[in-house]
Amino acid sequence: MHWLDWEEPDVDRPHRLDLFREAVAARKKALVAAALAAPFAAGLFLALTPLQYRAETELYIAAPVNAPAQSANDADSLIGEARLIASRDLGRRAIKELRIDARPEFDPLARGVGPIARALISLGLMSDPARVSQDERILKSYEDRLSVSASEAQRLVTIAFRSRDRAFAASAANRIASLYLEMRAVAEPREAGEPGITGSVISPAVVPRRPLLPGSHLIFAIGAGAAALAAFGFGAFRRPPRPPSGEEPMALPRAVGDFPFFVRLKKIPEFPPSGGRSAASRRAEAENAVAFDEIAAHILAARRPSKGLRIVGAKLSSAYTAPDIMLALARLLGSEGRSIAVSLDAAEADDADALPACEGPGLSDLLAGGASFSAVIRRDPRSRLHFVPAGGAGPIDISELSNVIDALARTYDFIWLRTPPLEANDMAKTLAADADFLVLEAAPEAHDCAIARAEAELREAGARSILVIGAVAPVERSIGQDAA
């Protein structure tokens, strides 16, 4: 896996089938609603749609007697006969002969305009039938019910007619065929000597037994639309999950401001244990649980979407050899965004909970030009945190470090610069002016004077926001009082 794959934790993932089951269980109501809405909508549409019957009459159109059997314009003449049957002149004669104007099913205004049609008309989605004359409305309905098709290979023309009355559908198809044959019988050839076209009914229409159902594509579209609407409705109106009883909802991070501040943290005895780490590390995190929450809130409130935050971290004294709780804080913020820890201390002590020892190039090799970013960036196997070791190519040149930090700030959300202890090296003071936050790790028994003196020196160096972690404050005092 490439080191740029942020969202892939270094742990075994559950089976995809388990994830699928969890997703189905979380959306069970929406899926059930969609499964019931699809057949219900399709059945309701079929129940409300009036039944229609379709009857067909087949005509055989004979080729001209004196014309070759496969003339070039034979297909055009057959299509022309089909168009003649579907013409408006023949349609007006059929309407008069069959008294179609007396049947309400062919006049949209015979039973009035329903509320749905009125709504569609007012929205401009449907034309107003009242603006069209009755003859035009009936002729339009006749054309919608009539379909004529031609088969060139067999020289057959099929006349199909639909109606709610099954007997009328058959009689209408037969009568239209008779009117066509009568029209063709009295027609004269267009030119002298041109052979005429003759036709005959080879399969008259019979009364259909089964109604004509809507197309399967239309029924499927209606069912799919109803299912999507039901699923969306259940998802939109679903109540958010309530927090467990006895627990308060999590508060949003508070804005910090541009002024420097000093935080003293209370000792909290309880903290969820983490497997795979030493007891000292778990105890240190438990004692600073509120510290993690407060500092994370400050840093997240100042988070910038376009450029990462620079966070300088240093211990107050090299004599403090407790587990690295500042690294635990970096791992915690690694779950909120892309975080990287850059070690500037080549003599950093190793403990069971520190970053794993890595052989190979580090930051000093990168600054010397002997390695690339992809060669020095590693991944913490216990979290999503990335880290860069100090390396063994010699001392780190601070003047060349700014270009590296600028490049990392365009990729990462949080850049942690782990400097040597404050009493042994002034590197933290040098980087304080350009840092967004400075995290100072002190021992629980650290004296107030030592912390205050370190704070004053860091402010004089240009530190804007100072956070102290590890020093235990009295329980009765609040963070606001200590900040003041």
Rounded to whole angstroms, the Cα distance separating 136 from 215 reads: 27
Among the residue ranges 138-142, 184-188, 226-230, the one predicted with the least confidence is 184-188
∠ Cα 323 321 412 (to 5°): 50
Residue 247 gets the label, from left (phi > 0), alpha (psi -120 to 50) or beta, of beta
* pLDDT-derived band at 410, boundaries 50, 70, 90: confident
For the purposes of burial, counting CB atoms within 10 Å of the CB of 255, is it exposed (0-12), middle (13-18) or buried (19 or more)? exposed
Closest CA to 419 of 411, 428, 429: 428
158, pLDDT greater than 80: yes
Placement of tokens 């002034």 in the chain:
426
Which has more pLDDT, 390 or 145? Answer: 145
Residue 126 has which token pair? 């449907």
For the purposes of burial, counting CB atoms within 10 Å of the CB of 103, is it exposed (0-12), middle (13-18) or buried (19 or more)? middle
The pLDDT score that the predictor gives to residue 106 is: 85
Task: Dump pLDDT digits (tens) for 91-120.
Answer: 999 999 989 888 888 887 766 666 666 777
Closest CA to 419 of 323, 311, 325: 311
Mean pLDDT throughout 56-70?
Answer: 71
The pLDDT score that the predictor gives to residue 184 is: 82
Which has more pLDDT, 121 or 340? Answer: 340
Out of 177-181, 426-430, 444-448, 473-477, the most confident range is 177-181
Which amino acid is present at 208? P
464, pLDDT greater than 60: yes
Closest CA to 147 of 232, 211, 55: 55
CB within 8 A of 380, min separation 6: which ones?
Answer: 10, 331, 334, 355, 356, 386, 387
Rounded to whole angstroms, the Cα distance separating 388 from 217 reads: 60
Which has more pLDDT, 66 or 274? Answer: 66
409, pLDDT greater than 70: yes
DSSP state for residue 150 in the 8-state scheme: E
Closest CA to 480 of 294, 233, 293: 294
Among the residue ranges 224-228, 312-316, 406-410, the one predicted with the least confidence is 224-228
Phi (first) and psi of residue 480, to 5 degrees:
-65, -40
* pLDDT-derived band at 188, boundaries 50, 70, 90: low
Mean pLDDT throughout 351-366?
Answer: 69
Mode of pairing for the β-strands spanning 378-379 and 386-388? antiparallel
Rounded to whole angstroms, the Cα distance separating 383 from 368 reads: 29
The pLDDT score that the predictor gives to residue 57 is: 92
Domains and CATH numbers, the chain: 50-213 (3.30.1890), 265-483 (3.40.50.300)
432, pLDDT greater than 50: yes
> Residue 343 pairs with which residues in a beta bridge?
418
Task: Dump pLDDT digits (tens) for 296-338.
Answer: 888 888 888 778 888 888 887 776 655 567 777 888 888 888 8
Q: In what order do the strands lie in the sheet with 156-163?
A: 146-151, 156-163, 53-62, 198-203
In DSSP notation, 97-129 reads HHTGGG-GGG-TTTT---HHHHHHHHTTSS--G
Helices (H), 134-215: 134-145, 166-186
Rounded to whole angstroms, the Cα distance separating 34 from 235 reads: 11
